[in-house]
Amino acid sequence: MTRGSVLFLDTNVLLAASDRSRSAHPDCTSLFSEASMAGCHLACTPLVLREYLVVSTRPIDVNGLGLSTGGALRNVREFRKKVVVLDESTQVLKGLLALVEAHGLTGKRVHDANIVAAMAVHRVDTLVTSNDSDFKDLLEGRILSPAESLSLLRENLT
């Protein structure tokens, strides 16, 4: 990973950064602080932030974080200070529709395809996610776990 590289963050990275009980929490919080030190940029789309708001405010007993609206919005404001929010343009929509048609996608897979389409339009080739299996058949770029991305960032610092 070189200076100027852009890492696209999946929603689960933001969720893990907000939830100390998740095993990826230390790596995800470190990723936010160490990316800028390594000269790399973190990115997401409004979709990722919307998904974060949905899951973070959902009750814990249905796989949410149980945050208040105010708490979740504070977190989103903090993320926006550290993450470039890429536009979801008409070009992203065209890419999304092409992926849905080509792969016969349904349900939650459409969200994953939207991320892949946005990455393609904005020429981002690296995705950081804890769910690599959701993207393997859609993304031609590199898929890294939070731990893998942090390791590569730290190599840049030495």
CATH number at residue 132: 3.40.50.1010
Range of the domain at 38: 6-157
Whether 1 is covered by a domain: the verdict is no
Q: Report pTM.
A: 0.94
Whether 79 is covered by a domain: the verdict is yes
Whether 133 is covered by a domain: the verdict is yes
Which 3-state string (H, E, C) describes the chain? CCCCCEEEECHHHHHHHHCCCCCCHHHHHHHHHHHHHCCCEEEECHHHHHHHHHHHHCCHHHCCCCCCHHHHHHHHHHHHHHEEECCCCHHHHHHHHHHHHHHCCCCCHHHHHHHHHHHHHCCCCEEECCCHHHCCCCCCCEEECHHHHHHHHHHHHC
Q: What integer pLDDT is reported at residue 22 of this predicted model?
A: 93
Whether 23 is covered by a domain: the verdict is yes
Q: What integer pLDDT is reported at residue 156 of this predicted model?
A: 75
Number of domains in the chain: 1
Of the candidates 90, 65, 59, the residue with the CA atom closest to the CA atom of residue 11:
65
Whether 111 is covered by a domain: the verdict is yes
Give pLDDT tens digits along the chain (158 positions). 788 899 999 999 999 999 999 999 999 999 999 999 999 999 999 999 999 999 999 999 999 999 999 999 999 999 999 999 999 999 999 999 999 999 999 999 999 999 999 999 999 999 999 999 999 999 989 999 999 999 999 887 76
Whether 59 is covered by a domain: the verdict is yes
Report the mean per-residue pLDDT for the chain.
95
